[in-house]
Amino acid sequence: MNVKLNDTVVVLVGKKQSDGGDKGKQGKVIATSPKNGTVTVEGVNVHKKSQKARRANETSQQVEVALPIDVSNVMVVCASCGKGVRVKHQTVDGKKVRVCGKCGAVLDTAYAGKGKGKAAEVKEAPKKRTRKRAAKAEEAVETPAEDKAE
Ligand SMILES: [Zn+2]
């Protein structure tokens, strides 16, 4: 698939937004399913779902959830062109990246920066696990230090 998580995409099909549809709507990809060839886009294909209270302090209510749509119904939005574009593949620094078919701008944000170190930072920052591991690593470092003091 040419569409990846956290991409901004534009919806190409469906009813006009004035008719309550999603056509032309732009949103962030919040989930992808390469197996099914679908993507879930924030605020697109939103359906009301009845959610029953499971705990005493919850109330039964209708919540709005975005359901997956076919990946062929969306196009990746190029930040520099400002609209949906076709994706081309190019090799930059030995890595395959997605580039805008119109202006050639790199679409993979992790590789958009020129420096390799900077790219790694961007790639790791959104992951929560990294922080937890870092915290655990600090604890692990502290413990043996205490043992030595004894
Ligand atoms: Zn472009």
Clarify whether residues 85 and 113 are in a common domain. yes
Is 61 found in the same domain as 2? yes
- Cα-to-centroid distance, 79 and ligand 1 (Å): 7
- Residue 46 sits in the same domain as residue 103: no
d(CA 106, ligand 1 centre) in Å: 8
Give the pLDDT of residue 87. 95
Domains held by the chain: number: 2
Q: Which residue type does 109 have?
A: T
Continuous H helices in 1-150: 109-112, 116-124, 128-149
Q: How far is the CA of 75 from the centre of ligand 1 (A)?
A: 12
CA of 12 to the centre of ligand 1 (A): 17
In this structure, is residue 150 part of a structural domain? no
List % helix, strand, coil for the chain (3-state, nearest 5). 25, 35, 40
Q: Would you give per-residue pLDDT tens digits along the chain (150 residues)?
A: 899 999 999 999 999 999 999 999 999 999 999 999 999 999 999 999 999 999 999 999 999 999 999 999 999 999 899 999 999 999 988 888 999 999 999 988 665 544 444 444 444 445 555 555 555 555 555 555 556 555
**Ligand 1 centre distance from Cα of residue 83 (Å):** 8
Distance 74 CA to ligand 1 centre (A): 16
In a domain, 12, yes or no: yes
Q: Are 6 and 51 members of one domain?
A: yes
Range of the domain at 16: 1-77
> Looking at this protein, which amino acid is placed at residue 27?
G
Q: Separation of 76 CA from ligand 1 center, angstroms?
A: 10
Q: How much distance in Å is there from the Cα of 81 to the middle of ligand 1?
A: 4
Tell whether 15 and 69 lie within a shared domain: yes
What CA–CA distance (Å, rounded) separates 118 from 148? 37
In a domain, 106, yes or no: yes
Q: Are residues 54 and 98 in the same domain?
A: no
Task: Give Rg (Cα) of the chain.
Answer: 21
Q: What does the alpha-carbon distance between residue 105 and residue 114 come to, in Å, rounded to a whole number?
A: 12
Q: How far is the CA of 77 from the centre of ligand 1 (A)?
A: 8
Angstrom CA distances, 150 to 87, 106, 110, 138, 140, stand at: 61, 55, 46, 19, 17
Nearest to 87 by CA among 105, 100, 74: 100
The token duo for 1 is 């698939």
In the DSSP assignment, the letter for residue 46 is E
